[in-house]
Structure 1
Amino acid sequence: MFVPTSLATILLLASVVALGPLSTDMYLPSLPRLTDELNASVDQVQITLSIFFAGFAFAQLLYGPLADRFGRKSILLGGLVLFTAASFGCATATSIEELILYRFLQALGACGGPVLGRTMIRDIYGPTQSARVLSMMGTIMALAPAVAPIIGGYMLLVFNWSAIFIFLGVYGAIVTLMIFFKIRESLQPENVNSLRPSAILRNYGELISSRVFLGYTLCCSFTFSGLFSFLSGSSFVLIDFFGVPEKNYGFYFTAVVLGYMTGTQLAQRLGPKLGINKMLVLGTSIATIAGGAMLSASLLSIHNLYWLISCQVVFMIAVGMVMPQAMAGAMGPFPKMAGTASALLGFTQSAIAAVVGLIVGHSHTGTPTVMAASIAAMGTLALLSYLIIIKPISANQPN
């Protein structure tokens, strides 16, 4: 067994938190090809992304209370087994409808990784140190989605799109075995919660009524939805509009992920000095400016690939600064229901992202404008969430 506070534990938990990004980023280069091979429209192919986040969102509402009652490890293992089986199911899909179904099941399993990975970090490190560790974890797990589109793009040169899901299935099986043999249960007996519906509803009610939880959760959700706007539209914009070869798409995506890693590094260095709230206002302001710059260029018909990617890199620096801090701020005050808090945060984040993804897919015009408008809107809403909800009560919150 790994020591709970060891780097090995952080690395392994990062690998399960990364299930969500891996499940979307690796097959992004194949989206335009799926329209031909499965005889599907762009809207239908976009649904394979949005349905994943819809399933990801709703399942988290169950994972949290179950983990607060039965422990983190057993519930996480159940999710990993489902993820692995559904990934192999995706590989066998012969129609877009089958792929959508298996993607939904894959999401139900995958969402246990982020919910319970974050929760176990909160269990181990407490409300203050967890922000630093979540930032460190963000840097580590960003390595996977940084290389995932590159791997996916080059796999398409040799195999068809189903090989990507076989890879994910094998990854899920390996992580399942590692968690089973190497990770200890982190839920303390005194923090075990009842699974009675009344107790679950009471806990969710307490979280929803908390301005602290709501403010941090919305900051996290809107910045993430800006990222998801890019995930939903970038393959069509880069490959179809700008003519980027499938095999090269991953390199542009890697530049964007490096922006996120830079943001998490800044959060690790500046977070302890500035505190959660100052990091949030700085990060959301940067996101608003970057999104606005991308949209302005598109509205002026200045369609420059390198400008678009540069704006997204800056936006992702902001995402890396905001998300770990906002997660820690949302879960910090609720040690006895950290799993439920993590689940509701994840549900809100994924639900908003799913809706945004559907809008981007349905409204796509073949140009970068819709994607850029969505990214700009999400950055602005994140900043407003801080100014309207968090700032008025920040004097009562820890810095």
Structure 2
Amino acid sequence: MLALTSIWTTLLLAAACALGPIAIDMYLPAFPQIGADFGAGADDVQLTLSLYLAGFAVAQLVCGPLADRFGRKPIMVGGFLLFAMASIGCAMASNIESLQLFRFLQALGGSAGPVLGRAVIRDVYTPREAAKILALLASLMAMAPAVAPTLGGFMVSALNWHWIFIAMGTYALVMAGVIAFGIPEPLRRDYRQPLRPASLFGNYRRILGDASFLGYTLTNAAVYGALFAFLSGAAFVLIDVLGVAPEHFGLYFAAMVVGYVAGNLGSIRLARFLVPDQILLYGLIIATASGASMAGFALQGVHNVWAVMLPQSLLMVGTGMILPQTMAGALANFPSMAGSASALFGFIQMATAAAAGALVGQLHDGTPLVMAAIIAGFAALALVFYLFLVQRYPAPGFEAQGANSR
């Protein structure tokens, strides 16, 4: 088996965590075709994404405590197997309602990878080290959203959208085997938590009562809301409104991923000179300005691909700087219950993302304006959470210069 601190283990965790973005991004180019096949509107098709995010959020509240009790590996492997079975159900769906149901079930299994990947990093590394490793992990994971939409677009054009879910299920089966036999169990036995309702609620109450956790988590969730507003609306805006071919959708999507990787790698380099909260602030300024510029273009009636993609790519530079710092900061105070903290963090993150995606689906008006306005609003909200919570209650060692320590 691989050593937990090995770069190969980090690569393996990145591949496991990538199941989340693959399940989201790979089928985005198929939105118009799914709607046409089932006679469903944009709101019903988008609901397959919001239900996935909702299921993903709820499942984390269960799989985190289970992993704190029984260990990370058995919960991850079980989650991947459930994901694979639900993927086959998605591929065989005969109407939009059954696809929505299987997407929800798919999310219940898919939540295990990201939530426990974060927990494993916290198990192995100190909070400051975890911020760097999470940035590296995010950069490696970014290959999934770079490749998945392009692959999905070609599958839609050459085969049909059903094959996208068959590919997802195959990937999950492979990852179940690799996790089972590739790494040792990272959770120390003396850190295992009792699986009693009173204990679980007590842990969650303690975590929610931590102002530092809330600050980093809400900042992260708002940025995720901006990201998922784009993911929910991108296929309809780029393909239906701006005329991008489905097989080219992923190429435009890759420009966004390049921005995200640049932000991740930049945050690793900046960590040599700056503390995490300083990097976080710079990322938030970039994201907020980029979201505002996209909304400004839309308000002026500038409806072309680059008026959407250039601001979104710059927003993703900021996002790449923000997410590793907020993940590590949120988990910093909970080394003995990292699974539960990661689960609650992920629940809030995904619930916010689902709400943002649902807003885009419900309000889409055939122009880029609704999507752009929601992206700008959530990016600005993230900056507000930083200013009023993170600056006042920074994680130990994360403080920006001049910030008040607790």
Q: Deviations over 1:21-44 (max 9, x none)?
A: 100100100001111111111110
Aligned residue number for residue 323 of structure 1: 323
- Judged with a 3 Å threshold, the aligned counterparts in structure 2 of structure 1 residues 246 and 393 are, in CA distance, closer, same or farther, namely same
Aligned residue number for residue 168 of structure 2: 168
* Equivalence map 1:119-138=2 (5 Å): 119-138=119-138
Aligned residues: 399
- Cα shift at 1:344: 0.3
Looking at structure 1, the residues matched to 269 and 92 of structure 2 have their Cα atoms a distance apart, in angstroms, of 45
- Cα shift at 1:395: 8.9
* Equivalence map 1:35-54=2 (5 Å): 35-54=35-54
Looking at structure 2, the residues matched to 84 and 90 of structure 1 have their Cα atoms a distance apart, in angstroms, of 10
Looking at structure 1, the residues matched to 115 and 327 of structure 2 have their Cα atoms a distance apart, in angstroms, of 11
Aligned residue number for residue 212 of structure 1: 212
Looking at structure 2, the residues matched to 97 and 395 of structure 1 have their Cα atoms a distance apart, in angstroms, of 44
Looking at structure 1, the residues matched to 166 and 304 of structure 2 have their Cα atoms a distance apart, in angstroms, of 36
Looking at structure 2, the residues matched to 107 and 96 of structure 1 have their Cα atoms a distance apart, in angstroms, of 17
Aligned residue number for residue 96 of structure 1: 96
Looking at structure 1, the residues matched to 169 and 394 of structure 2 have their Cα atoms a distance apart, in angstroms, of 44
Looking at structure 2, the residues matched to 101 and 395 of structure 1 have their Cα atoms a distance apart, in angstroms, of 39
Q: Which runs of 5+ in 1 are unaligned?
A: none
1:351 aligns with 2:356: no
Q: Which runs of 5+ in 2 are unaligned?
A: 400-406
Looking at structure 1, the residues matched to 160 and 97 of structure 2 have their Cα atoms a distance apart, in angstroms, of 18
Looking at structure 1, the residues matched to 55 and 393 of structure 2 have their Cα atoms a distance apart, in angstroms, of 33
Q: Deviations over 1:133-188 (max 9, x none)?
A: 00001010101110111101111122110000000011011111101111110000
Aligned residue number for residue 301 of structure 2: 301
Aligned residue number for residue 24 of structure 1: 24
Aligned residue number for residue 282 of structure 1: 282
Asked whether the 8 Å contact 2:212–2:395 carries over to 1, the reply is no
Aligned residue number for residue 382 of structure 1: 382
Letter in 1 for 2:282: L
Q: Deviations over 1:374-396 (max 9, x none)?
A: 11011101100000111123496
Aligned residue number for residue 149 of structure 1: 149
Letter in 2 for 1:322: I
Aligned residue number for residue 111 of structure 1: 111
SS of corresponding position for 2:59: helix
Identity of aligned residues (%): 47
SS of corresponding position for 1:160: coil
1:7 aligns with 2:35: no
Letter in 1 for 2:341: A
Letter in 2 for 1:184: P
Looking at structure 2, the residues matched to 71 and 2 of structure 1 have their Cα atoms a distance apart, in angstroms, of 17
- Judged with a 3 Å threshold, the aligned counterparts in structure 2 of structure 1 residues 144 and 75 are, in CA distance, closer, same or farther, namely same
Looking at structure 1, the residues matched to 121 and 392 of structure 2 have their Cα atoms a distance apart, in angstroms, of 28
Looking at structure 1, the residues matched to 82 and 55 of structure 2 have their Cα atoms a distance apart, in angstroms, of 13
The alignment's TM-score, normalised by the length of structure 2, stands at 0.97
Aligned residue number for residue 237 of structure 2: 237
Looking at structure 2, the residues matched to 395 and 65 of structure 1 have their Cα atoms a distance apart, in angstroms, of 23
- Cα shift at 1:397: 4.9
* Equivalence map 1:329-340=2 (5 Å): 329-340=329-340
Q: Deviations over 1:69-124 (max 9, x none)?
A: 11111111110110111111110101001100100000000000000011011111
The alignment's TM-score, normalised by the length of structure 1, stands at 0.98
Looking at structure 1, the residues matched to 177 and 397 of structure 2 have their Cα atoms a distance apart, in angstroms, of 40
SS of corresponding position for 2:243: coil
- Judged with a 3 Å threshold, the aligned counterparts in structure 2 of structure 1 residues 271 and 361 are, in CA distance, closer, same or farther, namely same
Question: When you count helix as a share of all residues, which structure comes out higher?
Answer: 1
Aligned residue number for residue 75 of structure 2: 75
Letter in 2 for 1:210: D
Looking at structure 1, the residues matched to 40 and 226 of structure 2 have their Cα atoms a distance apart, in angstroms, of 26
1:360 aligns with 2:360: yes
